[in-house]
């Protein structure tokens, strides 16, 4: 009896230990952990979930350590990687509507965007996008930032004519608008942008916020930094988990992931809002950067190009049309609130 009792205690101990260890998911990130705001969004999420859960843990991997960034969606879907932290705009080449859940030119700022995602139809349509296109993933909104800069240029841009013929790194749906204005665009990862600028493979770039761009050194080559970020008034980030892996988790672990992502959106937005001005001051005072504002005429040209792009995409893609219509309907309602409640800028 004593032997059986000891064996039972040992078995209980092993079960308890296994439960304590939990399930560990490998997570590829689209952004290196050395990048502020973007990189820390992923590492902060991992710290949050690992700090509150004994049932599921995440292990962070920088870009290319498991798979290249642009292959992350397929890798998570087919199960070769458990999860990824990225922005859905990186899948624009696969799914037309992907950037509508990432960054919308002349679209919603952070608060308005979150309202559509969390309290209207946004999150439902976001998941539906992956389901309709055969991706075996579970999506969580997991980060958001305020506007990015509009780009870094080696020369001053005073008219649409100055844009024609430029080679520029550009993201998401905004790239299609720039193409309408005669710019040749390419989507490069963070580590590839500076070398491309340095050797002249690209003439200009946009990437992210001033503090992030400062870490990448764009100011050493391109001295004209333009605002506002019409192409990304806010940017959403997502956590993707292989759906089979996700379904194997307990209900408690699933809820803990959701809570950690909601908390992550708060800290991600706050870090960007609190820490970018110092980089702008430093650029102007120490790095010889000229901080420029687009003229009303240039903004009108960007808006006109964007209107053409969205009309073409909506005409040829029923799901894009569905998401776009839903977002516009939401924004009309939101405007009743926003135009009355907020002070004019």
Asked if 86 and 72 touch (Cβ cutoff 8 Å), the reply is yes
Q: What is the CATH number of the domain that holds 60?
A: 3.40.190.170
The pTM (predicted TM-score) of the whole model is 0.92
**Residue-wise pLDDT tens for the chain (345 aa)?**
444 544 444 444 433 333 345 899 999 999 999 999 999 999 999 999 999 999 999 999 999 999 999 999 999 999 999 999 999 999 999 999 999 999 999 999 999 999 999 999 999 999 999 999 999 999 999 999 999 999 999 999 999 999 999 999 999 999 999 999 999 999 998 999 999 999 999 999 999 999 999 999 999 999 999 999 999 999 999 999 999 999 999 999 999 999 999 999 999 999 999 999 999 999 999 999 999 999 999 999 999 999 999 999 999 999 999 999 999 999 999 999 999 999 988
**Degrees (nearest 5) of the Cα angle 118, 269, 219?**
135
Q: How far apart are CA 220 and CA 201, in angstroms?
A: 16
Q: How far apart are CA 125 and CA 130, in angstroms?
A: 9
Sequence-distant (≥ 6) Cβ neighbours of residue 302 within 8 angstroms: 105, 106, 177, 181, 230, 231, 294
Residue 61 maps to a domain: yes
Angle between helices 122-132 and 110-119 (to 10 degrees): 70
Q: What is the CATH number of the domain that holds 224?
A: 3.40.190.10
Q: Do 87 and 107 lie in a common domain?
A: yes
Residue 91 maps to a domain: yes
Q: Do 315 and 201 lie in a common domain?
A: yes
Q: Which of 197, 208, 212 is nearest to 166 (CA)?
A: 197
Q: How many structural domains compose the chain?
A: 2
- List helix spans (H) across 135-171: 160-163
Residue 83: give the domain boundaries: 2-147+233-274
Q: How many other β-carbons are positioned within 10 Å of the β-carbon of residue 54?
A: 13
């Amino acid at each position: 009896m004593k032997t059986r009792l000891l064996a039972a205690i040992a078995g209980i101990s092993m079960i308890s230990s296994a439960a304590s260890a939990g399930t560990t998911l490998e997570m590829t990130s689209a952004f290196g952990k050395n990048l502020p705001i973007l990189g820390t969004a992923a590492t902060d999420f991992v710290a949050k979930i690992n700090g509150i859960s004994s049932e599921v843990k995440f292990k962070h991997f920088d870009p290319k350590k498991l798979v290249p960034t642009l292959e992350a969606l397929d890798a998570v879907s087919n199960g070769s990687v458990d999860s990824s932290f990225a922005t859905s705009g990186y899948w624009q080449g696969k799914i037309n509507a992907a950037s509508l859940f990432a960054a919308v030119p002349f679209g919603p700022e952070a608060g308005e965007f979150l309202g559509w995602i969390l309290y209207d139809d946004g999150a439902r349509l976001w998941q539906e996008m992956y389901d309709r296109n055969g991706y075996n993933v579970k999506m969580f909104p997991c980060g958001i930032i305020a506007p990015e800069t509009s780009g870094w240029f080696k020369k001053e841009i005073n008219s649409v004519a100055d844009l024609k013929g430029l080679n520029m790194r550009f993201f998401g749906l905004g790239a299609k608008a720039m193409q309408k204005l005669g710019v040749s665009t390419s989507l490069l990862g963070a580590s590839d942008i500076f070398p491309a600028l340095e050797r002249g493979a690209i003439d200009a770039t946009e990437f992210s916020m001033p503090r992030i761009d400062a870490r990448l050194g764009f100011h050493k080559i391109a001295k004209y930094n333009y605002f506002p970020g019409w192409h990304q008034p806010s940017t959403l980030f997502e956590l993707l988990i292989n759906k089979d892996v996700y379904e194997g988790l307990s209900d408690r672990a699933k809820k803990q992931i959701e809570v950690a992502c909601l908390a992550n959106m708060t800290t991600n937005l706050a870090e960007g809002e609190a820490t970018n001005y110092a980089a702008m001051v430093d650029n102007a005072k120490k790095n010889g950067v000229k901080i420029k504002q687009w003229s009303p005429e240039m903004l009108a040209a960007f808006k006109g190009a964007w209107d053409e792009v969205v009309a073409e995409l909506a005409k040829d893609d029923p799901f894009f049309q569905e998401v776009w219509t839903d977002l516009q309907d939401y924004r009309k309602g939101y405007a009743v609130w926003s135009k009355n409640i907020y002070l004019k800028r």
